[in-house]
């Protein structure tokens, strides 16, 4: 998954949660070197799965995307990313 793909994923997350400012908050958070390392690790290990989930979402198959993301979020890196996104979304 390349940088533009990550931007698209961030925008998709923002749209799905109904908070247009979420993408900006998530991108700002990703400026932190520790967060960048975690994101790189996540992408290295799960980039293909995240890309598949994004493709499912773009096709309107939210259930397929949800299943892929649930498996990914069961990993330590995925769980950390999910917590960070939830905090940014105010949940």
pLDDT by 10s per residue, the chain, length 91 = 455 566 777 777 777 767 777 777 777 777 778 877 777 777 788 888 888 888 888 888 989 988 988 888 888 877 877 777 777 656 5
- Give the domain ranges of the chain: 3-88
- The pLDDT of residue 6 is 65
End-to-end CA distance of the chain: 27
What per-residue confidence (pLDDT) applies to 1? Answer: 45
pLDDT at position 91 is: 58
Global pTM exceeds 0.75? no
The pLDDT, as a whole number, for residue 4 is: 59
Torsion of CA 19, 48, 81, 40, to 10 degrees: -110
């Amino acid at each position: 998954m390349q940088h533009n793909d990550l931007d698209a994923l961030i925008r998709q997350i923002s749209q799905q949660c109904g908070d247009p400012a979420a993408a900006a908050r998530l991108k700002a958070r990703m400026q932190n070197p520790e967060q960048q390392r975690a994101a790189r690790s996540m992408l290295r290990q799960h980039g293909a799965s995240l890309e598949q989930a994004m493709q499912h979402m773009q096709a309107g198959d939210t259930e397929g995307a949800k299943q892929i993301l649930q498996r990914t979020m069961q990993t330590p890196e995925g769980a950390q990313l999910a917590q960070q996104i939830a905090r940014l979304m105010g949940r």
